[in-house]
Amino acid sequence: MLKRVFERHKAKFGGLEILRYIGPGFLVTVGFIDPGNWASNVAAGSGYGYSLLWMVTLSTLMLIILQHAAAHLGIATGLCLSEAATVHMRKGVSSLFLLTAVLASVSTALAELLGAAIGLNMLFGVPLGAGAALSALLAGYMLFSRSYGGLEKWIIAFVSLIGLSFLFELSLVKTGWQEAVQGWFVPSIPPGSLAVVMSVLGAVVMPHNIFLHSEVIQSRRWDLEGEQVINRQLKFEFTDTLFAMLAGWAINSAMIVVAAAVFHTRGITVTELPQAELTMRPLLGGAAAFVFALALVLAGFSSSVTAAMAGGSIFAGFFREPFDATDSHSRAGVVITLLGALVIIFFLENTFQAMIWSQIILSIQLPFTVFALISLTSSRKVMGKFANLPYHKALLWITALIVTFLNVMLLVQLV
């Protein structure tokens, strides 16, 4: 079934034409290599070695399916997910759905700002509160002063630097590649690991990213250019999404592999990101610790931008509007997302556990977003002739059922 999807959406392009379409996928990618992922992946690698790598693989496959569906909605209708929910769903249902999505964006921004603040503290000794506030101000400035094109260039640069940082880290550690390969493809849930499994899921398949992808895509308004253009953009978009998601898979995998090789093999379970940096220093040297902290700052800041943008898009959707940095509703959504996260940070006692639980909250909200996405993209009233084909629906429903099943397992364990 997956092979049919790849063949159907295989884009044919010559020379460097594909570079014109690279960008939206990377805005999404930075959201799932954020500090929340760092916390989840370091917890997974240090606590359980290579055994939870399969969750990164499964989550990335589900992410490709969901992000393509979100982009599909934006290309075919000219509406982002929040607009489409308000226009095509019953008011009470859409309002409750979007409210949970706003809360998910705040939860996301909490991890992003906290991660950037922790990185600044590691590098320069900046207090956490001040570092988080500085990151929030810079994220707001980036959103209110730059176009999508400018943001995409910055984000691609940040993703590239983060990826290079982990290649450097990998070059310094002795990795059990045979165990890693088994971990990528053989599912296992060691005793006591379910909360970490769910945090990895929530850190990779993030609700705000689904909203963000549909928003960035719909801003191009390819739906106004006719059927031929829509079909072409669907092909190129899938290439962009696939390339960007695989890059994210590699970086997330590298985080777990490094944590497993550095910490798990020595019996060290990491419970704070600063602990990871301090432990790396004597084991791998000052350069590795510096690169770790710098990459964390880049990940935190860039993902704060995308989380705030998603929050602005969701809030604007209440008023049937797309994201517009000059519009009061979009600005209000950005401020609510960043300020809400910032206020919570000042009351936190355990920052690492807060980052883990922020990702679990995302995984709990995720089924609502997935089911809404399936409903909208499968409707001919919404999508016209571009509504999901049977195998699209099958892949989306399989994804929805897996996400729901894992959430039920977590709920049973917590109760």
Give the residue among 331, 274, 289 at the shortest CA–CA distance from 128: 274
Residues whose CB falls within 8 Å of the CB of residue 238, separated by 6 or more in sequence, listed in order: 9, 10, 11, 68, 71
For the whole model, what pTM was predicted?
A: 0.85
In this structure, the dihedral spanned by the alpha carbons of residues 330, 160, 28 and 139, taken in order and rounded to 10 degrees, is -20
CB 248 within 8 A of CB 32: yes
pLDDT at res. 379: 97
DSSP 147-159: -HHHHHHHHHHHH
What are residue 147's phi and psi, to 5 degrees? -85, 170
pLDDT at res. 137: 95
Q: Which domain holds residue 296?
A: 2-10+17-414
pLDDT at res. 23: 53
* Angle, alpha carbons 314-234-97 (nearest 5°): 20
Give the residue among 343, 342, 312, 341 at the shortest CA–CA distance from 328: 312
Tokens of 317: 């959707």
* Side-chain-facing half-sphere of 260: CA atoms under 13 Å: 22
CB 288 within 8 A of CB 277: no
Provide the 10 A C-beta neighbour count for residue 371: 16
3-state secondary structure 246-266: HHHHHHHHHHHHHHHHHCHHH
The CATH number of residue 168's host domain is: 1.20.1740.10
CA distance 261 to 255: 10
Cα of first residue to Cα of last residue in the chain, in angstroms, is 37
Q: Determine the residue type at 81.
A: L
Provide the 10 A C-beta neighbour count for residue 317: 31
Q: How many domains does the chain have?
A: 1
- Long-range pairs, 347-354, Cβ under 8 A, ≥24: 348/114, 351/114, 351/118, 351/128, 351/272, 351/273, 352/39, 352/43, 352/271, 352/272, 352/273, 354/110, 354/111, 354/114
pLDDT at res. 146: 63
Q: Determine the residue type at 83.
A: E
Q: Which residues of the chain have pLDDT under 50?
A: 1-22
